[in-house]
């Protein structure tokens, strides 16, 4: 048995790096599991928000940390998409040990309320008639909002203009005002805006319709077969973290998110709790990276 496995874990406070600013969905999940870990494992699990460079700054910290379980990461898939489109100082597959996927949810494609397209078919038709005329916002070049939107363009065979913002908090007002035509929306933030009429939902990006918006079709059933993009959030350790530690973290993450009050909260936010095993999550991360790397090559995408 390795020395790291033989020592009590954790032997000191644990840092959970979150490669985005505080206050969003990733940060919230990190705090939910961190509080549970602190309670049951007898050491403080401290959330450390490290935004910047499209999640690359925080991801690099974890990739270079000692593989002893005392530095972890909770991230969205954006740390994978960033590595697919630009040079980063980490490998999303080789440099991390996936512990478990935590949650997943589809995005909602939302537009300016007055935007003439009321469906994906109409959006594509407008983009086809006026190449580059239709604009979409993202939370930053290389993130899942950017590449998920480009995947739609590639599969539909159209060109739309990307307008990156520093975050979704800046992108929403631009779409509401008509400065930009559409954006991916997370259910937790987009649903209230749809209900008040400040944004117009036209489709969901997952494989199935959302229980929160059952009347909205998927992009695939709206004329773009094969299209599927889901938001996922996961827990990671540095590569080569001891197996016993990874298994313990996966077990406790499952207990944290399967608590009735947490599951009710996730359901209200149109989010599904997943908590799968490390081996399955590792396969999903690899497939995700290959998917976006292939898209970048096919579409000729580059950081502007």
Fold assignment, 108-222: D-Maltodextrin-Binding Protein; domain 2 (3.40.190)
> What is the pLDDT confidence band of residue 187, given thresholds at 50, 70 and 90?
confident
Q: What is the pTM of this model?
A: 0.86
Interval 47-61: pLDDT, tens: 999 988 778 899 999
User: Tokens for 299?
Assistant: 């579409």
Domain with CATH 3.40.190.150 in the chain: 3-105+231-299
> What is the pLDDT confidence band of residue 63, given thresholds at 50, 70 and 90?
very high
On the question of pLDDT at 286 being above 80, the answer is: yes
Interval 218-237: pLDDT, tens: 999 999 999 999 989 999 99
Q: Residue 23's pLDDT is what?
A: 66
Q: Residue 5's pLDDT is what?
A: 47
On the question of pLDDT at 24 being above 80, the answer is: no
Q: Residue 225's pLDDT is what?
A: 95
On the question of pLDDT at 26 being above 60, the answer is: yes
Domain with CATH 3.40.190.10 in the chain: 108-222
- The CATH homologous superfamily for domain 3-105+231-299 is Bordetella uptake gene, domain 1 (3.40.190.150)
């Amino acid at each position: 048995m390795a020395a790291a496995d033989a020592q009590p874990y954790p032997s000191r406070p644990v840092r959970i790096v979150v490669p985005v600013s505080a206050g969003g969905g990733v940060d919230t999940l990190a705090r939910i599991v961190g509080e549970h870990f602190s309670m049951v494992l007898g050491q403080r699990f401290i959330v450390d928000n490290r935004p910047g460079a499209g999640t690359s700054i925080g991801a690099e910290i974890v990739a270079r940390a000692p593989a002893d379980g005392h530095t972890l990461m909770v991230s969205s898939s954006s740390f994978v998409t960033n590595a697919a489109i630009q040079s980063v100082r980490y490998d999303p597959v080789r440099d991390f040990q996936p512990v478990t996927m935590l949650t997943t949810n589809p995005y909602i494609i939302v537009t300016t309320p007055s935007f003439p397209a009321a469906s994906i078919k109409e959006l594509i038709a407008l983009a086809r008639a006026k190449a580059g005329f239709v604009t979409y916002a993202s939370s930053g070049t290389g993130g899942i909002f950017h590449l998920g939107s480009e995947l739609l363009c590639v599969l539909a065979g159209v060109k739309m203009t990307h307008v990156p913002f520093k975050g979704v908090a800046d992108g929403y007002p631009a779409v509401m005002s008509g400065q930009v035509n559409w954006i991916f929306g997370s259910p937790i933030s987009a649903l209230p805006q749809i209900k008040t009429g400040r944004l117009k939902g036209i489709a969901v990006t997952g494989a199935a319709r959302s229980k929160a918006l059952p009347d909205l079709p998927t992009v695939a059933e709206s004329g773009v077969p094969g299209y599927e993009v889901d938001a996922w959030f996961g827990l990671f350790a540095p590569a080569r973290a001891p197996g016993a530690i990874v298994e313990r973290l996966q077990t406790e993450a499952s207990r944290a998110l399967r608590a009735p009050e947490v599951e009710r909260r996730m359901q209200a936010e149109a989010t599904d709790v997943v908590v799968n095993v490390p081996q399955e999550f590792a396969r999903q991360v690899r497939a995700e990276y290959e998917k976006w790397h292939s898209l970048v090559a096919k579409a000729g995408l580059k950081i502007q």
